[in-house]
Amino acid sequence: MRLSEIYTALLKDIPDGQVELEITSLTVDSRQVKSGACFVAVRGSSQDGHSYIPDALERGAAVVIGEQDQPVLSQPYIQVGDTRLAWAQLAAAWHGYPARSLVMIGVTGTDGKSTTCNLLFQILRQAGIPTGMITTVNAVIGDEISDTGLHVTTPDAFEVQAYLRRMVDAGMTHCILETTSHGLAQHRVSACDFDLAVITNITHEHIDYHGSIEAYRQAKASLFRGLSTSHPKADVIKRIGVLNRDDSSYPLLAEATQVFKTTYAVENPADVLAQAIESTAEGLKLTIRSDDYVQTITSPLIGRYNAYNILAAFSAAVEGIGIEPALAARGIAALKAVPGRMEVIDLGQPFLAIVDFAHTPNALRQALTTARELTEDQVICVFGSAGLRDRDKRRLMAEVSAEMADLTVLTAEDPRTESLDEILEEMAIGAREQGIIEGEQFWRVPDRGQALRFALDLAQPGDLVITCGKGHEQSMCFGTTEYPWDDRTALRAALSEHMNVLGPEMPHLPTRDA
């Protein structure tokens, strides 16, 4: 990449007399700077990249990009309004703007994003469309599956563009990209030139980062606003926003979407409707209806709330991409499960044991509503609330469990540098305010492994034990250290001990030694 191309990518005029330079690499980490590199000074939550400009120059940076007023440097300095956006623009240019060779589908929302992405992925595969997918769980390019991180967030802008480049090189024509609010606000998915945007819902989440529910909603809305300014593509017939008519986000997103819109719903009038929803332990059956078709859908996914995820994926595929409804139905039926989403763990025990990712008040309510549909006996819920994240969720989630579960076990979920005891106390306050008694209807068990053992000991034949909040994740954070942890492995370990059968070893957390 040449210096002139950097100016062009940043939509900057090339200064008169600027010497052309060969740029050997791009980085936001001064420690990775080598001779000829372009260093982008990004402001983070705890560190400011501008402080590392001298170090980058000493290591051989050929050009520096920053937000500060023009400093006196030994190498060219390009001032921009937002270095995170600049990083995304440069990442796209470095990889040859791969999104411009793909039909880009962005899926956002508070709950249900990964499930909707996986449903849509199966539909497109069923239709014979070469499709790649990037979610907070993994990236799928052909037969290759790569982990995208330990915790839920959209990958860094450079990683996203690298995945897109690989998709284009592998012959993919479409890409499904799960877009978190952090990913949108931090420009990780800028320069992705989206053609379709899909919303699942917007509920209470990430207020700690965004500052208010309105700012959180606006971050989601930016995906839909961007549809009207995406780079033109010859193969895209129309750009489209797929909106949930039943969700409170609809008025905001309808205004933000300045291209074609289609709506889906269960309760309100919409372009695509779900009717006659039947939810059992074997899955879902529903009828999807529009002015042009009536399509019966069956799905192995558990939980009535998945009707909305199915509707979102179906609407994007049929209304947005033009796939036949019957083909879309076959794709939906092909998705057997999504890792860590209402995933049943069965070692032959006389009660149901389920792992779910529910980590918001709304998602927990939906998970427990489903649990109630699966048993007439006790529902026992195990969950925690993360440190350094939205504090209001702690009380709200405890209130939901106190209302909807028979027994509640409060435990660790990524306390980070906060006191786990204080987090559990905040949750306990929410439970007590709902009128349930500690030691009778709810307990605090700090070690998550021991909490699972405790919940299983409470279970009687016919009951249902559900552990929420971690789902597919592969680690848990204490302090600043990520400890290996998978709720599915841990639940199998606890069940094998409970049943006295062979099983995996319980993962070790620092709370076990406390």
Determine the residue type at 108: T
Q: What φ, ψ does residue 465 adopt, rounded to 5°?
A: -105, 125
For 95-334, give the CATH class. Answer: alpha beta
- For residue 123, what are the CA distances in angstroms to 126, 262, 478? 5, 18, 39
CB 347 within 8 A of CB 496: yes
Q: Residues with Cβ < 8 Å from 17, sequence gap 6 or more? A: none
Q: Residue 504 has which token pair?
A: 């995996």
Write down the pLDDT at residue 151: 57
Q: Which SS3 state, helix, strand or coil, does residue 42 take?
A: coil
Alpha helices by DSSP H, listed for 211-288, are 213-225, 250-256
Mean pLDDT by 10 residues, the chain (514 residues): 94 85 95 96 87 95 93 89 96 97 95 94 96 90 78 79 96 95 89 97 69 85 95 82 97 97 97 95 95 97 94 97 97 93 95 94 94 96 93 94 98 97 97 97 98 98 97 93 96 97 96 83
Write down the pLDDT at residue 91: 97
CB 118 within 8 A of CB 338: yes
Q: Where are the domains of the chain?
A: 3-89, 95-334, 343-513
The tally of CA atoms less than 13 A away on the side-chain side of residue 376 is 0
The fraction of the chain above a pLDDT of 90, given in percent, is 81
SS (H, E, C) 425-468: HHHHHHHHHCCCCECCCEEECCCHHHHHHHHHHHCCCCCEEEEE
Q: What number of helices (H) and strands (E) belong to the chain? A: 16, 23
The tally of CA atoms less than 13 A away on the side-chain side of residue 325 is 14
Cα(475)–Cα(414) distance, integer angstroms: 9
Q: What does the angle CA 23 – CA 25 – CA 29 come to, to the nearest 5 degrees?
A: 130
Q: Which SS3 state, helix, strand or coil, does residue 482 take?
A: strand
Query: Among positive and negative, which fits the CA dihedral 353, 354, 358, 359?
Result: positive
- For residue 389, what are the CA distances in angstroms to 15, 196, 340, 415, 441? 44, 30, 21, 9, 26
CB 401 within 8 A of CB 431: yes
Cα(69)–Cα(77) distance, integer angstroms: 10
Angle between helices 361-374 and 392-404 (to 10 degrees): 20
Domain 3-89 has CATH 3.40.1390.10: yes
Cα(462)–Cα(7) distance, integer angstroms: 65
For residues 148-160, b (16+ Cβ closer than 10 Å) or e, as one string? Answer: bbeebbbbbbbbb
For residues 228-242, b (16+ Cβ closer than 10 Å) or e, as one string? Answer: eebeebeebeebbbb
Write down the pLDDT at residue 513: 79
Return the CATH architecture of domain 343-513.
Answer: Alpha-Beta Complex (3.90)
**pLDDT tens-digit series, residues 302-353:** 999 999 999 999 999 999 999 999 999 999 999 998 889 999 999 999 999 9
What share of residues in the chain are helix, strand, coil (percent, to 5)? 35, 20, 40
Name the one residue in this structure whose structure tokens are 């006196």. 72
* Of 77, 73, 59, residue with least CA distance to 7: 77
Chain-centroid distance, C-alpha 371: 23
